Chain A
Amino acid sequence: MIESDVLVIGGGLAGATAALSAAREGADVRLVSHKESTLRNASGLIDVLGYHDGDLLADPFSTLDNLPEGHPYERVGAEAVEDGLALFDEVLGDLYAGSHTEKNALVPTTGGAVKPTARYPKTVAPGLASDTNEMLLVGFETLTDFDAPLAAEHLENAGVPFEVRGVTARFPMLRADAKITRYAKVLDTNEKGIRSQLVEAIKPHLGDAERVGFPAVLGHDHPEKVREALGRELGAEVFEVPSGPPSLPGMRLENTLFAALREAGVTIETGNPVVDFEDSNGRIDHVKVKRTHQHVPYFANEFVLATGGLVGKGITSSREGVREPVFDLHIPHPENRYDWFEDDAFGDHPFARFGVAVDTDLRPRDSAGAVEFENLRAAGGVLGGADFAAEKSGSGISLATGQFAGKRAAQQS
């Protein structure tokens, strides 16, 4: 019989945070994730809140109390956001920066815009747009998501307070359709002296640049070594311009987070979906994990649902409507599917807010507003009420609600 105090469903940032926070409360925690973590899809930046009503925010915390009812931050309160970040900083402190201030940082994107974020990998840190050091961006002919000269001109047009130039170089050795993990691998292992070859190709363009930005492929296992070596030979600070999917900063985050989970004693199972459940007296008794063809019961006292939104398939849809596939939770949405979107591609799309509605204990509510199950909480992308992409709030919501749900689940168990 498979059982635990707390069962977390989902292996993204919210699920991992929930499992970690529950384990730290002393609970026996099991995390089941259908697939490998979707963290590798994300840029690796930890956005908390970058925009409110379309206005760019320098300080996300000053606005947390002004969010509308039903927004995940409103549900858990500003304190949970800080607790979530504190947990993150504690676990990822060696890998990440940004905790020295409450202000947002503006990080260059591969398109050449800048975006507000609260925590960023140390590999990204020298690239901040509020820094005035001269910048050189380096792209590779074969990594088509980042056109460095175009991005540099874009940054100029955004009025950045530093000189910036871009150059496109040829990455030695690799075929045109090599995957980003291949780039990272040759840099990690310094195959055929690749690091020096790169430096030689870039040096003629360096000029007075004090910092040099690359696509985020500077190593998988040893990014600090790669960055340090390139920086030393170039005589400039080296940084990564984050992007994705797929994303090496996301993969590095995943590795560290899951190592922390294992260290905290969380049992992790990947590869099989939770497809069904049994309940009695308003409580989930057990969920059923589909192992190829058998439905295996997993028992627990408390459950956390962190299966993600439309992208992570925690929310699914058809022409008939929108649903949550594991517990069939209520997802508020307009009946007519032509009311799910706006005509402008960047409009205020209702679909971007689809997700479960919860009480202030993060327990999903049915269409009448009643709590569906006493011992089920939801966290992260599966929650409705926020357009994380427009707000730049995705990771913050996962950290805040994951931490909160995990802690509450452990306390209740």
Chain B
Amino acid sequence: MASQTAVLVIGGGSTGCGIARDLAMRGVDVTLVEQGNLTHGTTGRMHGLLHSGGRYAVSDQKSARECIEENRILRDIAAHCVEETGGLFVKRPEDTEEYFQKKLDGCRACDIPAEVLTAQEAREVEPYLAPDIAKAIWVPDGAVDPFRLCVANAASAEQHGGRVLTHAPVTDLLVEAGEVVGAKIRHEPGPRNDSAGEIETIYADHVVNATGAWAGRLGDMAGVDIEVRPSKGVMTIMNVRQVDTVVNRCRPKGDADIVVPHETTCILGTTDEEVRDPEKYPEEQWEVDLVIDELTKLVPILGEARTIRSFWGVRPLYEPPEVGSADPTDITRDFFLLDHAERDGLPGMTSIVGGKFTTYRMMAESISDHVCGKLGVRASCETAQVPLPGSEDFSVLHDYMDEFGLRSPVGRRSVQRLGSRADDVLKTDAPNPVLCECEGVTRAEVQDALTHSGTDLNAVRIRTRASMGNCQGGFCCQRLASELHPDHDEETARTSLDELYQERWKGERHALWGEQLSQAALNHALHAATLNRDGDPAKAGTPDWNAFDGGEL
């Protein structure tokens, strides 16, 4: 199996999806390949902060300016992915006045709207802030759903003639006569199950390596060194939103200094520790305890609130080898475009490393300009003006009961997730029961997600948020798997169920105390005692039926 494209983008994170959209809109024939789901890497493992730039206003004003510029653009073009929460930089009594002033001056210098609030005013915005805080600065931080944003970018790329392949890891880069000319990929089970197991050779005029923390591995395939310095950080998810505003600690860089309201939850972050391998690194108790204990100083109720899981992300940090920072927190968050023709004498490939989520569009524009230069394409970038799919004419519908027969909070959440697609997805003649009660996800929405996700229930999960609430899938995993049948056979549905259940457990086990341990015990009882999924004879082998009670005659 072979195909041809002008530009092959490797990596389905925010940067890769952004590049694919940008190029496709400029009329370039583009193919994007991603080893897992979209956002499989760092993009899917972040706290969802849409930076105002405030966090960089002291240490890196160039980044800060870029952030506020992109922040404004995303509010326009990605309305259904963004929640305009606002943000606070909160000064505790022990934090220095000097830094507070620097933060304020920095924001103002970078055109970031910033307003000083007294302790009382800050607590009127967020009543659960600690009573002893000193004061705060309000900035236009926001929350963004990275998955929804990537999906919208990929969908836009497809609408403009691009090709997007998920579950398609690169097995090799094609290097011919000292030039990168494409890549081999393997199709894995996912949305395109019919081709699972096949190897496809994709020839390309130019290859863009947008694999983030994995960039070094791609480099190895082509025989070039890309010195990414992956750094891990923990994020702990609370069951409910204790705050509706992003809450930052106003002090110089440090661990555990941010709470981001994200959908129905709050995400506490984070830590910064260099790791060797972006896939294998220890996930440790002290990291979870640290973020809870530190952030409890800002929002005391967090100390007793329920966490439902923790996850770790790996930042794809990069710095030119000659800089040699010892501490990962010192490494710049700026991005680097590595033209391998110039840098390594290997034409045909460009790598993009470093950078941050909020400015993904700007990075994509810059790479696309560079690639178009190579290809001689003269079209200009339109991604800052044209709304993403789902964000056109986005308005929240009010009468969910009448429109879709849904209870109003369920309808409201569905529309917040689906944006302008809500009408298409939710209007159905069949009964449309809620499958995931924690997040208010209906069968119609799951069915819609399945058309994009094949048999991968984790892909359904990140599209819909089903199984991401209190019970961590205890009650809905099985319902989601049932939706695969009869389009897929029972064994496939069972395998997908097991994958989702194990994935949920992977994060939930970091939250096993208090309510969440009770929840885990209940889930264990439901899945093992009531459903006997652990001893299921379809897996464990057929019993001797005659040896058991055949009923009273």
Contacts and interface: CB of A to CB of B under 8 A. Distances in A.
| Direct touching of A and B (C-beta under 8 Å) | yes
Interface of A: 42-43, 47, 50-51, 54, 56, 58, 97-98, 100-101, 103-106, 109-116, 125-126, 128-131, 141-142, 144-145, 147, 149-150, 153-154, 156-161, 170, 176-177, 242-245, 309-311, 313, 316-319, 336-338, 340-341, 343-346, 349, 351-352, 388-390, 392, 394
Contact of B405 (A176, A311, A313): A176
Given A144-B435, A150-B490, A170-B431, A109 B549 contact: no
Given A150-B490, A176-B432, A345-B505, A131 B550 contact: yes
Contacts of A316: 514
Tell me whether chain B's interface is mostly helix, strand or loop, or mixed. Answer: helix
A113 B532 contact: yes
Contact of A158 (B493, B509, B520, B536): B536
A245 B289 CA distance: 32
A390 B443 contact: no
A394 B530 CA distance: 10
Contact of B509 (A112, A130, A319, A341): A341
A98 B552 CA distance: 8
B402 interface: no
Nearest to B431: A176
A109 B426 CA distance: 31
Q: What are the nearest 5 A-B pairs in CB distance?
A: A159-B542, A147-B482, A115-B532, A105-B549, A345-B505
A177 B529 contact: no
Contacts of A109: 530-532
Interface of B: 284-285, 289, 292, 405, 407, 430-435, 443, 478-479, 481-482, 485-486, 489-491, 493-494, 501-502, 504-506, 509, 512-514, 517-518, 520-522, 524-538, 540, 542-552
A337 B12 CA distance: 36
A50 B535 contact: yes
A31 B193 CA distance: 58
A126 B513 contact: no
Interface centre among A101, A116, A150, A343 (most CB of B within 10 A): A150
Contact of B538 (A98, A105, A113, A390): A113
Given A112-B538, A344-B505, 14 more contacts: A58-B548, A104-B549, A115-B530, A115-B535, A130-B548, A131-B551, A150-B493, A156-B490, A244-B530, A310-B517, A317-B518, A345-B504, A351-B517, A389-B524
A150 B485 contact: yes
Contact of B490 (A98, A141, A157): A157
Given A43-B530, A111-B478, A154 B490 contact: yes
A140 to B, nearest CB: 9
A203 to B, nearest CB: 21
13 contacts: A42-B530, A50-B535, A97-B552, A104-B548, A111-B532, A130-B545, A147-B485, A161-B545, A176-B432, A317-B517, A337-B285, A346-B534, A389-B534
B538 A154 contact: yes
A316 B546 CA distance: 43
A317 B517 CA distance: 8
Given A153-B490, A176-B432, A313-B518, A106 B535 contact: no
A142 B538 CA distance: 26
Nearest to A104: B548
A142 B431 contact: yes
B436 to A, nearest CB: 10
Contacts of B537: 56, 113-114, 158-159
A159 B479 CA distance: 23
A109 B501 CA distance: 18
Nearest to A120: B549
A310 B524 CA distance: 11
A352 B524 contact: yes
Interface centre among A51, A338, A346 (most CB of B within 10 A): A346
Nearest to A50: B535
Given A105-B548, A144-B479, A351-B520, A56 B535 contact: yes
B530 A243 contact: yes
B549 A177 contact: no
A162 B525 CA distance: 28
